[in-house]
Amino acid sequence: MTISILMPALSPTMTEGKLAKWHVKEGDAVKAGQVLCEIETDKATMEVEAVDEGTIGRILIAEGTENVAVNTPIAILLEEGEDASAIKDTGGEAPPAKPAEKKPEAKPEPAKAEAPKAEAKPPAPKQEAASAPAAPKTADGGRIFASPLARRMAEQAGLDLARIKGSGPNGRIVKVDIEAAAKSGQAKAGAAPRPAAAPQAARSREDTVVPHNNVRKVIAKRMTESKQTIPHFYLTVDCRIDALLEARRQLNGKSEKIRVSVNDLIIKACAVALRDYPDVNASWSDEGMVMHGGIDVAVAVATERGLITPIVRDADMKGLAQISSEMRDLAKRAREGKLKLEEFQGGSMTVSNLGMYGIKEFAAIINPPQSCILAVGAGEERIIAVKGQPVVANMMSVTLAVDHRVVDGARGAEWLRSFKGYIERPATMLL
């Protein structure tokens, strides 16, 4: 009996999503746990794995199709011993495909210039060639099959996919193959495959429209809602970070396995300051004030798809080494679109750090339903007065954006004073 593969609900609020990419084609044999496709939700692109074994008999929804409703059949799986004729015999399978095919959809059509670029297959490799080797070739001209994640990892590690043997279905190169090649030190790429021809190509002066992905749409909606409905106010303070930098140096010198960043120390300081002022660890609701039981600090991470905010849970109770390890893992998987729902939904407050870009000071927009976000600027040497004498010190400006419905100005200032104290005397946050 044929099995319908349905559009999964990847979050409690998800009603539809975009079928971003198929990893299988009709006629392919699949095993349980094998990646079938990538679904783009409102926060990330997630891989969907096969639950059953069989053969892909028919793909009902083409990749790139947006607004596919949850529980819509997206493909039909044939069980062992069945062939394509079984699909025709299951009268209930085929009809759902037709409403689904209406989805590719009225929205892209008004801008006709964008539809061929987004969905027509011939132009796609040209677009990708500038950023990643989407379809590398072997020495004899044959195509190399590799997952998108494997391609990205290979590019970042400087590995030549043509020198790597795939262990996935039909010899497909997958994540474990890249990890093994990186450890062995083999398959290092020679000269970069990007020729100088791209910069020399004639530049077109025609405007193009790039369709928004789901993440960008949600960011736009939530940030607009935040600025329109949340009464923001902002508090800025300068922190002297000489002691913080020295503490970090000592921690990182203790063991090669420990690599604590300034951001890790900021996460810890935020968490213990929230513990000092539990009424700041709250969110607004029409029914009443939501007082959060856990102290969970979200961190803004820039990805190719947009901004994602993975969360360090119970950050006040974790050591710096654990925070550092968790944050590296969360940031890596955020950029790969591999976060689980519970890893980026919720949170007490958010830390947004643009210091690495040389930004001295900025004000961030609150990420609802949270009530606070801390914008962190760059650490830099400044001349300050100490007991009437000019002194060169490492300083860092931070700006707290606060929801005035939840936190009043005086309480926000007290929280920020507590945070500043932990930053300037880092040993106290370990008590």
- What amino acid positions are annotated as catalytic residues? 404
Separation of alpha carbons 137 and 146, rounded Å: 11
Counting Cβ atoms within 10 Å, is residue 310 exposed (0-12), middle (13-18) or buried (19+)? buried
Q: Which residue type is seen at 15?
A: T
Q: Which residue type is seen at 183?
A: K
SS3 for 219? helix
Tokens at 179, concatenated: 């990890």
Angle at 150 between CA 149 and CA 156, to 5 degrees: 90
φ/ψ of residue 228, rounded to 5: -85, -30
Separation of alpha carbons 159 and 151, rounded Å: 9
Q: Where are the alpha helices (DSSP H) in 255-294?
A: 262-276
In order of 229, 269, 316, the CA distances from 370 in angstroms are 13, 18, 17
The greatest distance separating any two alpha carbons of the chain, rounded to the nearest whole angstrom, comes to 89
Separation of alpha carbons 384 and 397, rounded Å: 13
Q: Where are the alpha helices (DSSP H) in 130-203?
A: 148-157, 175-184, 197-200
Peptide bond into 133 cis (omega under 30): no
Separation of alpha carbons 258 and 238, rounded Å: 28
In order of 125, 130, 132, 365, the CA distances from 209 in angstroms are 18, 18, 21, 27
Q: How many residues does the chain have?
A: 431
Residue with tokens 């796609």: 124
